[in-house]
Amino acid sequence: MTPKPSLPLIDLSSPDRASTAKSIREACLEHGFFYLINHGIEKETLDRVFAESKKFFSLPLDEKMKLEHSKDHTGYTPMCSETLDPSTEFKGDLKEGFYIGPIASSNSSVDINQWPSEEKLPCWRATMEMYHGKALAVDKVLVSLIALALNLDEQFFEKLGAMNNPMAFIRLLHYPGELTDADVGKYGASAHSDYGMLTLLATDGVPGLQICREKDREPQLWEDVHHVDGALIVNVGDMLERWTNCIFRSTLHRVLAVGKERYS
């Protein structure tokens, strides 16, 4: 039996933009998270991205380390090299990742990204650049609806220049399947909120994501976020919480180490 969706469902294809903006406002006020359906990124595209991601993470560690995370915040982060919650007693979240930053435009020759060898992964760069463009197109539509949700002109952020060369990153993540006794108590990703404006999350269906709506409550109450086929999970970041004077919430979330391999 498929679990009931645990967050509001927002249909990006709805012609009633006012109603959609109202639903987004309610979701951002109450949860800071929502599902986005009919967003325009085809299943085949997401399948290709996950397939290429798995190919990279299956490379030998020495090959991945050739692309180690740089000062430009791109490239590979090894397993357990990050701890998102600095207050935890456990150091090293059980995940490895790869950052892909803004894609160089036609009027710019600067590319801060690190790319795997085309000899080893011939379709990798093209797939990620394609996905970056599609995700950014979704984000631009979503940002206009966020503006309407704040009772602003739908082009408010565009007019301010917020979408001119945005600092949009793809973060590929891999959580291991096998856990050792030393991993007991650790998280795949320890509790944190995201620092940007919005996050669009695609998952492979493996559970583990949880949110805590009331971050100042003691004890904290954590809720599972169930997978919805074809949906992206969207969450508000710290920047949008700040811009809205805490009207929209940047919600704490974490990923449990469930003992099953997971990609997002």
Q: Answer with the residue of higher pLDDT: 2 or 120.
A: 120
Asked whether 93 and 189 are in contact (CB, 8 A), the reply is: yes
pTM of the model: 0.93
Q: List the Cα angle 127/49/118 in 5-degree steps.
A: 45
pLDDT band at 145 (very low <50, low <70, confident <90, very high): very high
Tokens of 197: 């404006």
Q: Would you say residue 212 has pLDDT above 80? A: yes
Q: What number is the average pLDDT over the span 204-230? A: 91
Residue 106 is predicted with a pLDDT of: 46
Architecture of the domain whose range is 9-263: Sandwich (2.60)
So where are the chain's domains?
A: 9-263
Range in 32-41, 79-88, 138-147, 221-230 with the lowest mean pLDDT: 79-88
In the predicted model, what is the mean pLDDT of the chain?
A: 92
Q: Give the pLDDT of residue 218.
A: 82
Separation CA 221–CA 43 (nearest Å)? 33
pLDDT at site 109: 57
What confidence score (pLDDT) does residue 140 get? 94
pLDDT band at residue 108 using 50, 70 and 90 as cut-offs? low
Interval 133-141 mean pLDDT: 95
The larger pLDDT score, comparing residue 43 to residue 183, is at 43
Tokens of 38: 């009919």
Q: Which residue has the higher pLDDT, 191 or 87?
A: 191
